[in-house]
Amino acid sequence: MSKIHAIYQGKLSPIDEIKVSPLSRAYTFSDSIYEVIPYFSGQPLCFKEHINRMRNSAEKMNLNVDFDIVTNEISTLAEALSLKNGYVYYQISRGIDIIRSHMYEDDIEIEKFGYALPMDFPSSSISAMLCDDDRWGRCDIKSTSLLGNVLSMNQAKSMGCQEVVMPRDGIVTEAGASNVFYFDSSGSIRTAALSENILPGITREILINSLKGSSYNVIEGNCAVTDLDDSPCIWLTSSTKGMLPLKNLIGTNYKLNKSFKGFAEISELFSSAMQSHLAASE
- Among 100, 118, 136, identify where a domain stops: 118
- Among 55, 85, 118, identify where a domain stops: 118
Alpha-carbon gap, residue 111 to 38, rounded angstroms: 22
φ/ψ (deg, to 5) at 94: -65, -30
19-47 per-position pLDDT tens digit: 999 999 999 999 999 999 999 999 999 99
Same domain, 131 and 112: no
CATH number reported for the structural domain that contains residue 60 in this entry: 3.30.470.10
Cross-sheet strand order for the sheet of 242-250? 171-175, 163-168, 126-130, 242-250, 234-238, 179-183, 189-191, 218-220
Residues 6+ apart with CB under 8 A from 233: 182, 183, 245, 256, 257, 260, 262, 263
Same domain, 228 and 151: yes
Same domain, 162 and 264: yes
Same domain, 216 and 196: yes
Give yes or no for residue 214 having a pLDDT over 90.
Answer: yes
Residue ranges making up the domain that contains 25: 5-118
Give the range among 109-113, 270-274, 278-282 with minimum mean pLDDT: 278-282
The angle subtended at Cα 233 by Cα 170 and Cα 231, nearest 5°, is 50
Contact (Cβ atoms closer than 8 angstroms) between residue 192 and residue 228? no
136-163 per-position pLDDT tens digit: 999 999 999 999 999 999 999 999 999 9
Same domain, 197 and 133: yes
pLDDT at residue 244 in the model: 97
Same domain, 154 and 269: yes
- Among 85, 118, 151, identify where a domain stops: 118
Residues 6+ apart with CB under 8 A from 16: 4
What domain count does the chain have? 2
Residues 6+ apart with CB under 8 A from 20: 8, 26, 27, 113
177-206 per-position pLDDT tens digit: 999 999 999 999 999 999 998 999 999 999
Alpha-carbon gap, residue 79 to 115, rounded angstroms: 11
Percent pLDDT > 70 in the chain is 99
Determine if the pTM surpasses 0.85.
yes
